[in-house]
Amino acid sequence: MAERVELQASDTLLAIDVQNDFCPGGALAVPRGDEVVPVMNRLARRFRHVALTQDWHPRGHVSFASSHPGRAPYERIQVAYGEQVLWPDHCVPGTPGAELHPGLDTLAADLIVRKGNDPRIDSYSAFYENDHRTSTGLAGYLRERGGRRLFLAGLATDFCVQYSALDARREGFDVFVVEDGVRGIDLDGSLAAAWTRMAAAGVRRVRERDLEGHGKESR
């Protein structure tokens, strides 16, 4: 039987990287990535607190295959902070691909966190860059607002959603991933592995229909 979860006023919806480059037609399109948009919009109307993230990579970023002569997208290399998957150039500031999906309702957002803007370090997580030391400040922001529970949706399940969920757990938050509000890349089995790792860390998997009540109405 599916877990039922009553929304609370202090809950936060964290919408991960719903950007044009991760949607069909984008430079790093997640299959059916645009399907998360209507789910996200419905969810946003039920939360008092909504935060968004954007990948924000300068040209020549270390994660771009084009920055490494002779390398191709999806190869893996070693960099200063460990293994790095090489990606097509994506989410470059000032390009249409970096913009949030035009169908995404952003009016409810309290905060937009831009990540990965250091050309030397990739950043999947909404909380830390991939060196696992450099903070985005999001955890402190959420604590200052009194929130303890996060509901994640967005792109992609096996990379930025997973890393954000795991870091949120390490920071002591209760974390739920709304499974019908995420889509994955599934690079060499990465999607199934991501769900396994998240479950082992105590991340709870719910669907939109499992969420009861209306957090905006709770006082």
Question: Residues with catalytic annotation?
Answer: 17, 115, 160
Whole-number Å distance between alpha carbons of 138 and 28: 25
Closest CA relative to residue 136, chosen from 145, 144, 127: 127
Q: Give the rounded distance of the alpha carbon of 10 from its chain centre.
A: 20
Note if the bond before 29 is cis, omega within 30 degrees.
Answer: no
Q: Three-class SS string for the chain?
A: CCCCEECCCCCEEEEECCEHHHCCCCCCCCCCHHHHHHHHHHHHCCCCEEEEEEECCCCCCCCEHHHCCCCCCCCEEEECCEEEECECCCCCCCCHHHCECCCCCCCCCCEEEEECCCCCCCCCCCCECCCCCCECCHHHHHHHCCCCEEEEEEECHHHHHHHHHHHHHHCCCEEEEEEEEEECCCCCCHHHHHHHHHHHCCCEEECHHHEECCHHHCC
